[in-house]
Every structure is written in C-alpha cells, then in structure tokens.
C-alpha cells in the first residue's frame, strides 16, 4: 500500500498532510510513502527530511499515478478552484483523505465519486472517545483559538494584563469569548495566560465547569438551548428566535468588553449572527472583534472574510484559515490525525473499508462511483436508501 503526499494548492495554505516524523508508524504498518517534491517546504519540512524517513520524491502527476491513497489537508471540496485540476489525476479505487467540506460542497464529492475515487472527509470524524486522536477539526480549532487571541492582542490599543508600575496601575483588558468549544476554550486559556479578565458564553450550559476551570466567568442567560448539540458532539442550528433573544441579552456583555472572540460554527450551515451592528456600535472605540466563523458568513453582522473592517472605531477581523499561519505545529497535529486514521483503516498492510465501524462509516463520503454519506446525499437531493446499499 502506497500513501501519497501532495503539495497544497489552496491559496495561502502552508500546511502539509504528513510530516517526516509521522512516516515511521506508517512504515511499520507496511505502508510506502511517496511525496511531491516541495510538499512540506512552506511548513518547514524539506524534501531531505522526508527522504531520511524513507519517502520517495516525485512530481504531482506521479504521486497520483502511483499512490493507492492520497493524504491532503484540503481535498477538492475544500479547495474548489485549484483542486479541480487534480480531478483528472484521480484513479478508480484511489482513496482520498483530507478536509473536503462535503456538507457545503456536496457537488465536489459527486465529482470525485464520478472518477471512482474513495473519499474520506476528516470533518466528519465522530466525536467519540476512540476517535479523539483522529479529530482534525478539534486539532485545528485549538490552534485557531490560540492565534485569535494573539491577533486581538496585536490589534488592540490596550495591553492584556494588569500592570503595576511607577507610572501607575493599568487595568487588565476584558475579553469575552462566544462559544466554549475547542477553539473557545483555547482562546479563554490563552487570554488568561496573557493576563486578561475573561468571560465566556455558550448555548450548552454543560460547559460552564470547563470555562470556570480555566479561570473565566461563565455568562448564564435564561434561554432554552437543550437541543444545541447533536449526537456526534457537533453544534446544531437553533431556532432564530433563540439567537434573537441571545443577542438581546448579550448586548451588555459585548459593550463592556475590550475584545470579543466569536467561535460559533455549524457544520455545513451559515454561521449564526451573534454580534449585531447595534452591539458593535455599543462597544468602546478601539475594541476588537475576532470572528473565527468568518469562513461561513461570520458571527458578527459586519464581518468580511479575510478582511479587517473598522466600524464605529471597532476593529473586526475575519480570518478564515488561522492554522495555516502556524504551519509547522499545525501540520504536526494534523499529521497525527491523518496517521491515526490511516492506521485505523489498515488491515494486513491494506486499507480496509469496514462500514460496520462507526468511524469508517461516518467519514466515508464516496465509494464505487456513488456518494454514500446520507447527509451529503441529502444535500444533493438523492435518496438515502441508495447510500445504504452502496455502503454495504
């Protein structure tokens, strides 16, 4: 079984799917590795390092032509423009593993299926105990939460910690984090390390203990949010009336904050608006908002993806790919996720697709010329029963 690593073609993407150190466990499991020359350069991993770990170098076409499985950070669905050029390189039966955004880019999954490719989407790894080491969304969200605080600290006109100096005492900055998932919790932890006073809110009251364990105050609102999480551990879309009431109640907290970091994202859906233009206007000039949901429309009404917007003296940042800005460690973490996933599929040196296994079943998007994932089929307007037949 040969695993191929290719250079990422999405604009600004500096990560690589596998790092040299991750090749050893794959080799022990019987895998050979072929790497596109320069694939890891932007992340700080040169070709020589891959060769030292037993990989063979080749051009992109040869990697696709030779590899039984291709590991990517962004497969076609998550790289719609540049990724199209790889379609003609995909062979029938070839396994593709990476972020593929299948719930929003279902047509791309259908294109891969038409080529006979077998697509596994890393966004769909279930949040169960034995899949934690494969959970690439959580790995990358942790980095995004950390980096969001650094961006805010850099853009803010205030320092984060309290300082007692000969020139007087400086009060600490107030940071409000919306959403206490992986990104939000890492943002809380990072802001606290920098000395800020942190408050956080999440529609799931069960995360209160986690927020408080990091030294932040949990904002409690009188809202009915019992259906805020699905069985897979991912956030669910709530009724608009809940978001409207939430916005009304949070106005005071937002207005009192020097920095607001929003992290509420719904897989395959537009991000809910949590911060309105009215709330931005209520903030003090010089305040900063970092919107980690910018890629799907943003949690702030005024966010523009990958742009810096200044309204009412408030700076609003809308980064869409923060993990790519720290590619060395982001690649290390993602490589661990990919390696563990490949080893999960490996049986006797071959990749085995066992749909009786929840991890395999939940991540499998396309196989045998068909889109087989029920939610992706639903997005395409296809009947779910055909998916069950194709996956069996």
Inter-residue contact 139 to 337 (CB < 8 Å): yes
Active site residue: 86, 135, 258, 362, which one? Answer: 135
Query: With helix as H, strand as E and coil as C, how does the chain read?
Result: CEEEECCCCCCCCCCCCCCHHHHHHHHHCCCEEEEECCCCHHHCCCHHHHHHCCCEEECHHHHHHHCCEEEEEECHHHCCCHHHHHHHHCCCCCEEEEECCCCCCHHHHHHHHHCCCEEEEHHHCCCCHHHHHHCHHHHHHHHHHHHHHHHHHHHCCCCCCCEEECCEEECCCEEEEECCCHHHHHHHHHHHHCCCEEEEECCCHHHHHHHHHCCCEECCCCCCCCCCECCCCCECCCCHHHHHHHHHHHHHHHHCCCEEEECCCCCCCCCCCCECHHHHHHCCCCCEEEECCHHHCCCECCCCCCCEEEECCEEEECCCCHHHHCHHHHHHHHHHHHHHHHHHHEECCEECCCCCCHHHHHHEEEECCEECCHHHHHHHCCCHHHHHHHHC
Active site residue: 65, 127, 204, 361, which one? Answer: 127
Give the integer Cα–Cα distance in Å for 170 and 194. Answer: 14
Catalytic, 173? Answer: no
Query: Exposed (0-12), middle (13-18) or buried (19+): which is 37, by Cβ within 10 Å?
Result: middle
Catalytic, 14? Answer: no
Inter-residue contact 131 to 372 (CB < 8 Å): no
Active site residue: 51, 52, 132, 307, which one? Answer: 132
Largest CA distance in the chain: 74
Catalytic, 239? Answer: no
Active site residue: 138, 257, 271, 332, which one? Answer: 138
- Counting Cα atoms < 13 Å in the Cβ hemisphere of 271 gives 26
The residues assigned a catalytic role are 127, 132, 135, 138, 234
């Amino acid at each position: 079984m040969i695993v191929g690593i290719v250079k990422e073609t999405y604009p600004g993407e500096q990560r690589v799917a596998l790092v040299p150190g991750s090749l050893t466990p794959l080799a022990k499991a019987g895998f050979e590795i072929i790497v596109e020359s320069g694939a890891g350069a932007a992340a700080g991993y040169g070709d020589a390092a891959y060769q030292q770990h037993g990989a063979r170098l080749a051009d992109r076409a040869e990697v696709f032509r030779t590899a039984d499985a291709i590991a990517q950070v962004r497969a076609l669905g998550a790289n719609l423009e540049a990724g199209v050029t790889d379609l003609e390189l995909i062979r029938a039966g070839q396994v593709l593993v990476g972020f593929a955004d299948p719930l929003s880019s279902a047509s791309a999954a259908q294109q891969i299926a038409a080529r006979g490719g077998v697509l596994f989407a890393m966004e769909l790894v279930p949040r169960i105990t034995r899949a934690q080491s494969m959970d690439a969304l959580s790995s990358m969200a942790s980095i995004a939460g950390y980096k969001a605080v650094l961006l805010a600290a850099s853009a803010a006109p205030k320092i984060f910690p309290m300082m007692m100096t000969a020139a007087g005492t400086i009060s600490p900055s107030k940071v409000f984090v919306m959403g206490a998932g992986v990104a939000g919790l890492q943002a809380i932890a990072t802001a606290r390390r920098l000395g800020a006073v942190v408050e956080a809110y999440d529609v799931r009251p069960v995360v209160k203990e986690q927020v408080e364990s990091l030294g932040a105050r949990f904002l409690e609102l009188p809202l009915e949010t019992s259906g805020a999480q699905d069985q897979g551990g991912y956030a669910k879309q709530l009724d608009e009336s809940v978001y409207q009431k939430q916005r009304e109640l949070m106005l005071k907290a937002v207005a009192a904050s020097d920095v607001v970091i929003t992290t509420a994202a719904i897989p395959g859906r537009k991000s809910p608006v949590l911060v309105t233009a009215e709330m931005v206007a209520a903030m003090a000039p010089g305040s900063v908002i970092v919107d980690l949901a910018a890629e799907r429309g943003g949690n702030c009404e005024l966010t523009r993806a990958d742009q810096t917007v200044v309204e009412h003296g408030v700076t609003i940042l809308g980064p869409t790919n923060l993990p790519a800005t720290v590619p060395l460690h982001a690649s290390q973490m993602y490589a661990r996720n990919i390696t563990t996933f490949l080893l999960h599929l490996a049986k006797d040196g071959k990749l085995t697709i066992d749909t009786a296994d929840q991890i395999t079943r939940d991540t499998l998007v396309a196989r045998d010329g068909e889109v087989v994932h029920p939610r992706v089929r639903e997005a395409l307007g296809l009947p779910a029963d055909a998916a069950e037949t194709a996956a069996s």
